[in-house]
Structure 1
Amino acid sequence: MPLDLDHCTVGEIAARLPGATDILRRYRIDFCCGGQRSLREACAQRDTDPARVIEELQRLATGMHTAVAPAEPTDLIEHILQRYHEVHRQQLPELIRLANKVEAVHAGHALVPAGLAQHLQTMQAELLAHMEKEEQVLFPLLAAGGSPMARFPIGVMRQEHDMHAAQLRRLHELTHDLTLPEDACHTWRALYRTLQQFVDDLMQHIHLENNVLFPRFEAA
Protein backbone atom coordinates (compact mmCIF):
# COMPACT_ATOMS: atom_id res chain seq x y z
CA MET A 1 0.00 0.00 0.00
CA PRO A 2 1.45 3.44 -0.94
CA LEU A 3 2.44 5.72 1.92
CA ASP A 4 0.07 8.58 2.73
CA LEU A 5 2.73 11.20 3.38
CA ASP A 6 0.19 13.66 4.76
CA HIS A 7 -0.91 11.28 7.52
CA CYS A 8 2.10 9.04 8.21
CA THR A 9 4.43 9.91 11.05
CA VAL A 10 8.00 10.85 10.24
CA GLY A 11 9.16 7.61 11.84
CA GLU A 12 6.86 5.55 9.61
CA ILE A 13 8.17 7.32 6.52
CA ALA A 14 11.78 6.72 7.57
CA ALA A 15 11.08 3.06 8.35
CA ARG A 16 9.06 2.20 5.26
CA LEU A 17 10.45 4.30 2.41
CA PRO A 18 13.99 3.37 1.32
CA GLY A 19 16.13 6.48 0.96
CA ALA A 20 13.77 8.72 2.93
CA THR A 21 16.24 9.15 5.76
CA ASP A 22 18.69 10.92 3.43
CA ILE A 23 16.02 13.46 2.50
CA LEU A 24 14.89 13.95 6.09
CA ARG A 25 18.48 14.44 7.25
CA ARG A 26 19.09 17.03 4.55
CA TYR A 27 16.17 19.07 5.83
CA ARG A 28 17.31 18.49 9.44
CA ILE A 29 14.04 16.73 10.27
CA ASP A 30 14.35 14.55 13.36
CA PHE A 31 13.03 11.11 12.41
CA CYS A 32 14.49 9.23 15.38
CA CYS A 33 13.31 10.81 18.65
CA GLY A 34 10.83 13.03 16.79
CA GLY A 35 9.48 10.11 14.80
CA GLN A 36 5.97 10.25 16.29
CA ARG A 37 5.14 13.62 14.73
CA SER A 38 3.49 14.13 11.38
CA LEU A 39 5.67 15.33 8.53
CA ARG A 40 3.91 18.69 8.50
CA GLU A 41 4.50 19.16 12.23
CA ALA A 42 8.17 18.29 11.81
CA CYS A 43 8.54 20.72 8.90
CA ALA A 44 6.85 23.50 10.86
CA GLN A 45 9.36 23.04 13.68
CA ARG A 46 12.22 23.45 11.19
CA ASP A 47 10.47 26.33 9.37
CA THR A 48 10.60 24.23 6.21
CA ASP A 49 8.01 24.14 3.42
CA PRO A 50 6.38 20.69 3.74
CA ALA A 51 5.40 20.74 0.05
CA ARG A 52 9.08 20.65 -0.96
CA VAL A 53 9.81 17.71 1.32
CA ILE A 54 6.68 15.82 0.24
CA GLU A 55 7.55 16.38 -3.42
CA GLU A 56 11.01 14.86 -2.93
CA LEU A 57 9.62 11.94 -0.97
CA GLN A 58 6.95 11.31 -3.61
CA ARG A 59 9.60 11.24 -6.35
CA LEU A 60 11.56 8.78 -4.25
CA ALA A 61 8.49 6.60 -3.73
CA THR A 62 7.62 6.42 -7.42
CA GLY A 63 8.06 2.84 -8.55
CA MET A 64 9.30 1.70 -5.15
CA HIS A 65 7.85 -0.91 -2.79
CA THR A 66 7.84 -0.08 0.88
CA ALA A 67 10.68 -1.52 2.88
CA VAL A 68 9.96 -4.38 5.23
CA ALA A 69 11.83 -4.46 8.52
CA PRO A 70 13.66 -7.73 9.33
CA ALA A 71 11.12 -10.40 10.19
CA GLU A 72 12.98 -11.61 13.26
CA PRO A 73 13.70 -9.15 16.08
CA THR A 74 16.85 -11.12 16.88
CA ASP A 75 18.19 -10.33 13.39
CA LEU A 76 17.48 -6.63 13.87
CA ILE A 77 19.08 -6.63 17.32
CA GLU A 78 22.22 -8.30 15.93
CA HIS A 79 22.35 -5.71 13.14
CA ILE A 80 22.08 -2.86 15.65
CA LEU A 81 24.83 -4.36 17.79
CA GLN A 82 27.27 -4.86 14.92
CA ARG A 83 26.47 -1.85 12.74
CA TYR A 84 25.92 0.78 15.43
CA HIS A 85 27.05 -0.22 18.92
CA GLU A 86 30.47 -1.43 17.81
CA VAL A 87 30.88 1.43 15.33
CA HIS A 88 30.09 4.11 17.95
CA ARG A 89 32.72 2.58 20.24
CA GLN A 90 35.27 3.05 17.46
CA GLN A 91 34.10 6.50 16.33
CA LEU A 92 34.07 8.45 19.58
CA PRO A 93 37.69 8.08 20.78
CA GLU A 94 38.97 9.28 17.39
CA LEU A 95 36.48 12.15 17.31
CA ILE A 96 37.60 13.28 20.77
CA ARG A 97 41.26 13.13 19.70
CA LEU A 98 40.59 15.19 16.56
CA ALA A 99 38.44 17.72 18.43
CA ASN A 100 41.13 18.25 21.08
CA LYS A 101 43.72 18.87 18.37
CA VAL A 102 41.55 21.32 16.40
CA GLU A 103 40.60 23.26 19.53
CA ALA A 104 44.24 23.50 20.64
CA VAL A 105 45.72 24.49 17.26
CA HIS A 106 42.98 26.90 16.21
CA ALA A 107 42.03 28.35 19.60
CA GLY A 108 41.89 31.90 18.24
CA HIS A 109 39.82 31.14 15.15
CA ALA A 110 36.33 32.63 14.99
CA LEU A 111 34.76 29.31 13.94
CA VAL A 112 36.71 26.99 16.25
CA PRO A 113 34.28 24.51 17.89
CA ALA A 114 35.26 25.48 21.44
CA GLY A 115 34.02 22.92 23.95
CA LEU A 116 33.43 20.20 21.36
CA ALA A 117 35.93 17.72 22.80
CA GLN A 118 34.37 17.97 26.26
CA HIS A 119 30.90 17.61 24.78
CA LEU A 120 31.98 14.49 22.89
CA GLN A 121 33.47 13.04 26.06
CA THR A 122 30.12 13.53 27.79
CA MET A 123 28.33 11.92 24.86
CA GLN A 124 30.75 9.01 24.91
CA ALA A 125 30.21 8.30 28.61
CA GLU A 126 26.44 8.49 28.35
CA LEU A 127 26.19 6.55 25.08
CA LEU A 128 28.44 3.76 26.38
CA ALA A 129 26.30 3.45 29.52
CA HIS A 130 23.14 3.45 27.39
CA MET A 131 24.39 0.73 25.05
CA GLU A 132 25.56 -1.37 27.99
CA LYS A 133 22.04 -1.31 29.46
CA GLU A 134 20.60 -2.40 26.12
CA GLU A 135 23.13 -5.19 25.73
CA GLN A 136 22.86 -6.50 29.29
CA VAL A 137 19.15 -6.01 30.03
CA LEU A 138 16.81 -4.96 27.23
CA PHE A 139 18.08 -6.80 24.18
CA PRO A 140 18.29 -10.22 25.89
CA LEU A 141 14.71 -9.68 27.14
CA LEU A 142 13.49 -8.83 23.63
CA ALA A 143 15.47 -11.62 21.99
CA ALA A 144 13.75 -14.07 24.34
CA GLY A 145 10.38 -12.94 23.03
CA GLY A 146 9.73 -9.96 25.26
CA SER A 147 7.30 -9.67 28.17
CA PRO A 148 5.07 -7.02 29.75
CA MET A 149 8.15 -6.10 31.81
CA ALA A 150 9.86 -4.84 28.64
CA ARG A 151 7.75 -1.68 28.59
CA PHE A 152 9.68 -0.11 31.46
CA PRO A 153 13.23 -0.49 30.06
CA ILE A 154 11.96 0.51 26.61
CA GLY A 155 10.56 3.70 28.15
CA VAL A 156 13.90 4.42 29.79
CA MET A 157 15.74 3.88 26.50
CA ARG A 158 13.33 6.24 24.72
CA GLN A 159 14.01 8.92 27.33
CA GLU A 160 17.75 8.47 26.89
CA HIS A 161 17.33 8.66 23.11
CA ASP A 162 15.70 12.08 23.63
CA MET A 163 18.79 13.08 25.61
CA HIS A 164 21.06 11.90 22.79
CA ALA A 165 19.00 13.95 20.30
CA ALA A 166 19.47 17.05 22.48
CA GLN A 167 23.21 16.37 22.55
CA LEU A 168 23.25 16.18 18.75
CA ARG A 169 21.53 19.56 18.59
CA ARG A 170 24.21 20.98 20.88
CA LEU A 171 26.88 19.41 18.66
CA HIS A 172 25.46 21.32 15.69
CA GLU A 173 25.53 24.54 17.71
CA LEU A 174 29.17 24.08 18.71
CA THR A 175 30.24 23.38 15.11
CA HIS A 176 28.02 26.05 13.50
CA ASP A 177 26.11 23.25 11.72
CA LEU A 178 29.40 21.57 10.78
CA THR A 179 30.44 24.62 8.77
CA LEU A 180 34.11 24.56 7.77
CA PRO A 181 36.05 27.80 7.30
CA GLU A 182 37.77 28.25 3.95
CA ASP A 183 41.17 27.96 5.63
CA ALA A 184 40.34 24.75 7.53
CA CYS A 185 43.28 22.36 7.86
CA HIS A 186 43.16 18.67 7.00
CA THR A 187 42.54 17.72 10.64
CA TRP A 188 39.58 20.08 10.91
CA ARG A 189 38.13 18.70 7.69
CA ALA A 190 38.64 15.13 8.88
CA LEU A 191 36.95 15.99 12.18
CA TYR A 192 33.79 17.36 10.54
CA ARG A 193 33.66 14.59 7.95
CA THR A 194 33.84 11.97 10.71
CA LEU A 195 31.38 13.92 12.85
CA GLN A 196 28.85 13.92 10.02
CA GLN A 197 29.12 10.15 9.75
CA PHE A 198 28.69 9.79 13.52
CA VAL A 199 25.61 12.04 13.51
CA ASP A 200 24.06 10.11 10.61
CA ASP A 201 24.83 6.76 12.27
CA LEU A 202 23.43 7.77 15.66
CA MET A 203 20.22 9.10 14.12
CA GLN A 204 19.74 5.91 12.12
CA HIS A 205 20.55 3.83 15.21
CA ILE A 206 17.91 5.60 17.31
CA HIS A 207 15.40 5.43 14.46
CA LEU A 208 15.72 1.65 14.14
CA GLU A 209 15.10 1.21 17.84
CA ASN A 210 12.38 3.84 18.38
CA ASN A 211 10.40 3.25 15.19
CA VAL A 212 11.09 -0.36 14.17
CA LEU A 213 12.22 -2.55 17.09
CA PHE A 214 10.48 -1.12 20.16
CA PRO A 215 6.94 -0.78 18.72
CA ARG A 216 6.81 -4.53 18.07
CA PHE A 217 7.02 -5.18 21.80
CA GLU A 218 5.08 -2.16 23.00
CA ALA A 219 2.07 -3.26 20.97
CA ALA A 220 2.18 -6.84 22.26
Structure 2
Amino acid sequence: MNITLETQVRDIAAEMPGAAELFRQAGISFCCGGKMPLAEAAKGQGLDPETLLAQLFALQEAANRDAPTETLALIDHVLARYHETHRRELESLIPLAQRVETVHGDHDEAPLGLTAALIALHDELDSHMMKEERVLFPLMRAGNTAALAAPLAVMRDDHHTATDLLRGVEHASHGLTLPEGACGSWTALYTGLRKLGDDVVAHIHLEENVLFPRFETQTA
Protein backbone atom coordinates (compact mmCIF):
# COMPACT_ATOMS: atom_id res chain seq x y z
CA MET A 1 0.00 0.00 0.00
CA ASN A 2 1.35 3.41 -0.98
CA ILE A 3 0.65 5.60 2.07
CA THR A 4 0.85 9.40 1.96
CA LEU A 5 -0.34 12.14 4.27
CA GLU A 6 -3.45 12.40 2.06
CA THR A 7 -4.42 8.74 2.41
CA GLN A 8 -7.64 8.28 4.36
CA VAL A 9 -7.19 6.70 7.78
CA ARG A 10 -9.99 4.18 7.15
CA ASP A 11 -8.10 2.82 4.14
CA ILE A 12 -4.85 2.59 6.08
CA ALA A 13 -6.53 0.77 8.97
CA ALA A 14 -8.16 -1.67 6.56
CA GLU A 15 -5.00 -2.52 4.63
CA MET A 16 -2.03 -2.02 6.97
CA PRO A 17 -1.36 -4.65 9.66
CA GLY A 18 -1.06 -2.96 13.05
CA ALA A 19 -2.36 0.41 11.88
CA ALA A 20 -5.74 0.03 13.61
CA GLU A 21 -4.13 -0.40 17.02
CA LEU A 22 -1.71 2.45 16.36
CA PHE A 23 -4.67 4.71 15.54
CA ARG A 24 -6.56 3.58 18.65
CA GLN A 25 -3.59 4.42 20.84
CA ALA A 26 -3.35 7.82 19.18
CA GLY A 27 -7.07 8.51 19.62
CA ILE A 28 -7.68 8.61 15.86
CA SER A 29 -11.08 7.35 14.74
CA PHE A 30 -10.99 5.21 11.62
CA CYS A 31 -14.58 4.03 11.92
CA CYS A 32 -17.22 6.73 11.52
CA GLY A 33 -14.68 9.52 10.96
CA GLY A 34 -12.36 7.39 8.89
CA LYS A 35 -12.57 9.35 5.63
CA MET A 36 -10.24 11.98 7.06
CA PRO A 37 -6.74 12.28 5.50
CA LEU A 38 -3.89 11.06 7.68
CA ALA A 39 -2.36 14.54 8.07
CA GLU A 40 -5.63 16.07 9.24
CA ALA A 41 -6.32 13.19 11.64
CA ALA A 42 -2.83 13.49 13.17
CA LYS A 43 -3.10 17.25 13.65
CA GLY A 44 -6.52 16.78 15.24
CA GLN A 45 -4.86 14.77 18.00
CA GLY A 46 -1.91 17.11 18.36
CA LEU A 47 0.46 14.70 16.60
CA ASP A 48 3.15 15.37 14.04
CA PRO A 49 1.88 13.91 10.74
CA GLU A 50 5.37 13.02 9.50
CA THR A 51 6.13 11.10 12.70
CA LEU A 52 2.89 9.15 12.41
CA LEU A 53 3.64 8.42 8.75
CA ALA A 54 7.08 7.09 9.70
CA GLN A 55 5.49 4.80 12.29
CA LEU A 56 3.18 3.42 9.61
CA PHE A 57 6.09 2.81 7.25
CA ALA A 58 7.79 0.85 10.05
CA LEU A 59 4.66 -1.26 10.47
CA GLN A 60 4.61 -1.88 6.72
CA GLU A 61 8.19 -3.11 6.71
CA ALA A 62 7.56 -5.38 9.71
CA ALA A 63 4.46 -6.89 8.09
CA ASN A 64 6.47 -7.98 5.09
CA ARG A 65 9.08 -9.72 7.27
CA ASP A 66 6.80 -11.74 9.55
CA ALA A 67 6.20 -14.71 7.25
CA PRO A 68 8.19 -17.40 5.43
CA THR A 69 9.73 -16.35 2.15
CA GLU A 70 9.41 -19.70 0.35
CA THR A 71 6.05 -19.98 -1.40
CA LEU A 72 4.87 -23.39 -0.19
CA ALA A 73 5.91 -22.57 3.36
CA LEU A 74 4.03 -19.27 3.05
CA ILE A 75 0.85 -21.11 2.06
CA ASP A 76 1.23 -23.40 5.07
CA HIS A 77 1.73 -20.32 7.25
CA VAL A 78 -1.49 -18.72 5.97
CA LEU A 79 -3.43 -21.91 6.70
CA ALA A 80 -2.09 -22.42 10.21
CA ARG A 81 -1.73 -18.82 11.36
CA TYR A 82 -4.88 -17.33 9.86
CA HIS A 83 -7.42 -19.88 8.60
CA GLU A 84 -7.43 -22.00 11.74
CA THR A 85 -7.19 -18.97 14.00
CA HIS A 86 -10.07 -17.04 12.38
CA ARG A 87 -12.39 -20.03 12.65
CA ARG A 88 -11.50 -20.76 16.27
CA GLU A 89 -11.78 -17.17 17.43
CA LEU A 90 -15.03 -16.37 15.63
CA GLU A 91 -16.65 -19.47 17.11
CA SER A 92 -16.02 -18.02 20.58
CA LEU A 93 -16.56 -14.33 19.80
CA ILE A 94 -20.02 -14.69 18.25
CA PRO A 95 -21.72 -16.16 21.37
CA LEU A 96 -19.79 -13.68 23.53
CA ALA A 97 -21.12 -10.79 21.44
CA GLN A 98 -24.62 -12.20 21.71
CA ARG A 99 -24.28 -12.36 25.50
CA VAL A 100 -23.08 -8.76 25.74
CA GLU A 101 -25.88 -7.51 23.49
CA THR A 102 -28.48 -9.41 25.51
CA VAL A 103 -27.24 -8.36 28.95
CA HIS A 104 -26.31 -4.77 28.14
CA GLY A 105 -28.77 -4.00 25.36
CA ASP A 106 -30.23 -1.02 27.25
CA HIS A 107 -26.81 0.62 27.68
CA ASP A 108 -26.23 3.74 25.58
CA GLU A 109 -22.98 2.28 24.23
CA ALA A 110 -24.20 -1.28 23.74
CA PRO A 111 -22.79 -2.89 20.57
CA LEU A 112 -26.20 -3.46 19.03
CA GLY A 113 -25.95 -5.33 15.74
CA LEU A 114 -22.50 -6.68 16.56
CA THR A 115 -23.57 -10.32 16.62
CA ALA A 116 -25.11 -10.05 13.16
CA ALA A 117 -22.00 -8.26 11.88
CA LEU A 118 -19.75 -11.01 13.23
CA ILE A 119 -21.92 -13.76 11.76
CA ALA A 120 -21.72 -12.06 8.35
CA LEU A 121 -17.94 -11.79 8.68
CA HIS A 122 -17.71 -15.43 9.79
CA ASP A 123 -19.73 -16.64 6.81
CA GLU A 124 -17.72 -14.56 4.33
CA LEU A 125 -14.35 -15.63 5.72
CA ASP A 126 -15.37 -19.27 5.94
CA SER A 127 -16.49 -19.28 2.30
CA HIS A 128 -13.34 -17.45 1.23
CA MET A 129 -11.02 -19.76 3.13
CA MET A 130 -12.71 -22.90 1.80
CA LYS A 131 -12.22 -21.64 -1.76
CA GLU A 132 -8.55 -21.11 -1.02
CA GLU A 133 -8.17 -24.53 0.61
CA ARG A 134 -10.07 -26.46 -2.07
CA VAL A 135 -9.19 -24.56 -5.24
CA LEU A 136 -6.60 -21.79 -5.03
CA PHE A 137 -3.89 -23.30 -2.86
CA PRO A 138 -3.96 -26.74 -4.55
CA LEU A 139 -3.48 -24.99 -7.92
CA MET A 140 -0.59 -23.01 -6.48
CA ARG A 141 1.04 -26.10 -4.99
CA ALA A 142 0.72 -27.90 -8.33
CA GLY A 143 2.22 -24.95 -10.19
CA ASN A 144 -0.88 -24.73 -12.40
CA THR A 145 -0.49 -21.04 -13.17
CA ALA A 146 -2.66 -21.17 -16.31
CA ALA A 147 -5.74 -21.83 -14.19
CA LEU A 148 -5.07 -19.19 -11.52
CA ALA A 149 -6.21 -15.92 -13.10
CA ALA A 150 -9.93 -16.34 -12.36
CA PRO A 151 -9.55 -17.72 -8.80
CA LEU A 152 -7.14 -14.92 -7.90
CA ALA A 153 -9.62 -12.30 -9.12
CA VAL A 154 -12.36 -13.90 -7.02
CA MET A 155 -10.10 -13.92 -3.95
CA ARG A 156 -9.35 -10.22 -4.33
CA ASP A 157 -13.08 -9.48 -4.57
CA ASP A 158 -13.61 -11.52 -1.41
CA HIS A 159 -10.99 -9.45 0.35
CA HIS A 160 -12.90 -6.26 -0.44
CA THR A 161 -16.07 -7.80 0.95
CA ALA A 162 -14.32 -8.94 4.13
CA THR A 163 -12.84 -5.47 4.61
CA ASP A 164 -16.30 -3.88 4.37
CA LEU A 165 -17.69 -6.40 6.86
CA LEU A 166 -14.82 -5.71 9.24
CA ARG A 167 -15.74 -2.04 9.09
CA GLY A 168 -19.26 -3.08 10.08
CA VAL A 169 -17.86 -4.78 13.18
CA GLU A 170 -15.94 -1.60 14.07
CA HIS A 171 -19.07 0.49 13.57
CA ALA A 172 -21.35 -1.74 15.65
CA SER A 173 -18.82 -1.75 18.49
CA HIS A 174 -18.34 2.03 18.39
CA GLY A 175 -14.73 1.65 17.33
CA LEU A 176 -14.14 -0.98 20.03
CA THR A 177 -14.32 1.72 22.69
CA LEU A 178 -15.28 0.24 26.06
CA PRO A 179 -17.66 2.23 28.25
CA GLU A 180 -16.59 3.09 31.77
CA GLY A 181 -17.16 0.18 34.13
CA ALA A 182 -17.54 -2.39 31.34
CA CYS A 183 -17.92 -5.93 32.65
CA GLY A 184 -15.42 -8.74 32.10
CA SER A 185 -17.36 -10.23 29.20
CA TRP A 186 -17.56 -6.90 27.39
CA THR A 187 -13.85 -6.30 27.95
CA ALA A 188 -12.93 -9.80 26.77
CA LEU A 189 -15.12 -9.36 23.69
CA TYR A 190 -13.42 -6.16 22.57
CA THR A 191 -9.96 -7.54 23.34
CA GLY A 192 -10.74 -10.53 21.13
CA LEU A 193 -12.16 -8.32 18.39
CA ARG A 194 -9.02 -6.18 18.31
CA LYS A 195 -6.91 -9.26 17.71
CA LEU A 196 -9.34 -10.65 15.15
CA GLY A 197 -9.40 -7.38 13.23
CA ASP A 198 -5.63 -7.10 13.21
CA ASP A 199 -5.33 -10.73 12.10
CA VAL A 200 -7.80 -10.34 9.23
CA VAL A 201 -5.99 -7.24 7.97
CA ALA A 202 -2.62 -9.03 8.24
CA HIS A 203 -4.05 -12.09 6.45
CA ILE A 204 -5.37 -10.00 3.56
CA HIS A 205 -2.14 -7.97 3.36
CA LEU A 206 -0.01 -11.11 3.15
CA GLU A 207 -2.08 -12.56 0.34
CA GLU A 208 -2.64 -9.34 -1.61
CA ASN A 209 0.90 -8.02 -1.43
CA VAL A 210 3.13 -11.07 -1.03
CA LEU A 211 1.55 -14.36 -2.14
CA PHE A 212 -0.81 -13.47 -4.99
CA PRO A 213 1.61 -11.25 -6.95
CA ARG A 214 4.01 -14.20 -7.29
CA PHE A 215 1.42 -15.99 -9.41
CA GLU A 216 -0.21 -13.02 -11.10
CA THR A 217 3.06 -12.16 -12.86
CA GLN A 218 3.07 -15.69 -14.26
CA THR A 219 -0.55 -15.55 -15.47
CA ALA A 220 -0.32 -12.11 -17.09
TM-score with structure 2 setting the length: 0.76
CA separation of 1:139 and 1:60: change in aligned 2, threshold 3 A: closer
For residue 113 of structure 1, give the secondary structure of its aligned residue in structure 2. coil
Rounded Cα–Cα distance in structure 1 between residues aligned with 2:216 and 2:68:
17
Structure 2 counterpart of 1:26: 22
1:44 aligns with 2:43: no
> CA offset at residue 192 of structure 1?
0.4
User: Residues 21-68 of structure 1: CA distance to partner in whole angstroms, max 9, x if unpaired?
Assistant: 33565238xxxxxxxxxxxxx98378445523333357789xx9x848
Q: 1:27 to 1:142 in 2, by over 3 A?
A: same
Residues 146, 217 of structure 1: 8 Å contact kept: no
- In the alignment, which residue of structure 2 is the partner of 1:137? 135
Kept after mapping to 2: 8 A contact 1:96/1:120: yes
Counterpart in the other structure of 1:38:
none
Q: Contact 1:98–1:187 (CA<8 Å) still a contact in 2? A: yes
Identity %: 43
Alignment partners' CA distance in 2, 1:60 and 1:161 = 20
Provide the residue aligned with 2:175 in structure 1: 177
Count of residues paired in the alignment: 191
Cα distance between partner residues in 1 of 2:39 and 2:151: 31
Cα 1:43–1:140 change in 2 (3 A) is farther
Q: 1:103 to 1:144 in 2, by over 3 A?
A: same
1:2-151 to 2 correspondences below 5 Å: 21-23=17-19, 25-27=21-23, 44=37, 47-49=40-42, 50-57=49-56, 67=65, 70-151=68-149
Contact 2:19/2:59, CA 8 A, preserved across alignment: no
For residues 59 and 198 of structure 2, the distance between their equivalents in structure 1, rounded to whole angstroms, comes to 19
Match of residue 32 from structure 2: none
Aligned mates of 1:92, 1:58 — CA distance in 2: 30
Distance 1:96 1:24 in 2: 21
Most deviating of 195-204 and 140-149: 140-149
Aligned partner of 1:101: which letter? Answer: R
204, 213, 216: which one pairs with 1:215? Answer: 213
Amino acid at match of 2:23: Y
Distance 1:77 1:179 in 2: 34
Query: 2: CA distance between counterparts of 1:120 and 1:68?
Result: 27
CA-CA distance at 1:88 after TM superposition: 0.9
**Residue pair 1:130, 1:157 contacting (<8 A) in 2 also:** yes
CA distance in 1, matches of 2:68, 2:3: 23
Q: CA deviation at 1:214?
A: 0.1
**Within 2, Cα distance between the matches of 1:219 and 1:81?**
23
